[in-house]
Structure 1
Amino acid sequence: MLKNIFKKKEINNAFVSPMSGSVVPLEEVPDQVFSQKMMGDGIAIEPTDETVLSPIDGEVVDVFKTKHAINMRADNGAEILIHMGLETVQLQGEGFDILVSNGQKVKAGEPLAKMNIHTIIEKGCQTVTPIILLNGDEYKISNRTTEKHVTAGNDQLFQINKK
């Protein structure tokens, strides 16, 4: 029994897909900031569903005022950005329904937002959603999926581990 008191808490490093859709290599995202990994490494999803789930157990660090992006910190310390669509900052929140708030603790699979794909397309934006590891100087992505299509909350995109 005493062994369990001093045992390190097991941290889940799995990063599950926050959206259902087609997997897009980051290098193929039609935006240089993401495709050239200026913000960090990651992957993108072309969504087929409007629901965005938490990909990790952790905390919501920042919901952008324009509702197009959510910054999160995993329990293992990795920081990630879910950038819903491209050029969507110009929509000033139109087409997005945020379901969480800054500082909120979340578990993998919990809803974070709804993204109205039809509104985003009608307004001339793209729905492809980059998912970026922001603190790649401390963490690395491994075991990246080779699947072409993923299901939100079920399929693992990759693992994030401390360097």
Structure 2
Amino acid sequence: MFKKLFGKKEEPVKTIQILAPLSGNAVNLASVPDPVFSEKMMGDGIAIEPSEGIVVSPVDGEIMQIFPTKHAVGIRAKNGAEILIHIGLETVSLKGEGFETHVQQGDSVTAGDKLVSFDMATISEKAKSTVTPIIITNTDQAVSLNLLTEGKVERGSTPILEVTFN
């Protein structure tokens, strides 16, 4: 009883590290050949040129959205960050071809859980690019967003961004 009255309240997670959802080469958003991403119209973040066709959760959180075309996933992290992983550029036109999802909207995920697998050859051949933007879509609500790395990253283990919310 006294523990409930005087116990320390658990503070919500405010700052989190976002891990690389894909293995490959992390690049600045400015280098993405699509103005929606390079000009940060959807929010700030980073992009990864993938070396394999596996996307894992970059955080502990909840799947907010799996696009019907399976080319993009939205996740809400425990601190409120809303993360969009957009696999390739102009991949919506593939209508799901070459993509397989492993989660559904509403699922709870842990960093490293497999979200989507995709065929790199199909994307390379039929889409504009395989480069995959990772965007914090509610950047405008963030206190801070810091880029942690560029260059070689490993899915599920390399921290790529640090984001803080109130």
TM-score by shorter chain over 0.5? yes
Partner of 2:129: 126
SS for the counterpart of 1:80 is strand
Partner of 1:108: 111
Please say if 1:44 is aligned against 2:47: yes
In the TM superposition, 1:14-53 aligns within 5 A as 14-53=17-56
Provide TM-score, normalisation by structure 2. Answer: 0.91
Please say if 1:84 is aligned against 2:113: no
Aligned length: 163
Shift of 1:139: 1.2
Please say if 1:7 is aligned against 2:12: no
Provide TM-score, normalisation by structure 1. Answer: 0.93
**Amino-acid identity (%):** 48
CA distance in 2, matches of 1:24, 1:141: 19
Shift of 1:137: 1.6
Q: Deviations for 1:1-20, whole angstroms, at most 9, x for unmatched residues?
A: 93895331563611000000
Q: Deviations for 1:17-51, whole angstroms, at most 9, x for unmatched residues?
A: 00000011000000000000000100000000111
CA 42–137 in structure 1, closer or farther in 2 if over 3 Å, else same: same
Partner of 2:100: 97
Structure 1 counterpart of 2:158, one-letter code: D
CA distance in 2, matches of 1:86, 1:36: 15
Point out the structure with max Rg over C-alpha: 2
Shift of 1:146: 2.9
SS for the counterpart of 1:13 is strand
Runs of 4+ with >6 A deviation: none
Contact 1:141–1:158 under 8 Å retained in 2: no
CA distance in 1, matches of 2:79, 2:116: 23
Q: Deviations for 1:98-139, whole angstroms, at most 9, x for unmatched residues?
A: 000000000111100102111111214310000000111211
Please say if 1:139 is aligned against 2:142: yes
Contact 1:42–1:141 under 8 Å retained in 2: no
Please say if 1:161 is aligned against 2:159: no
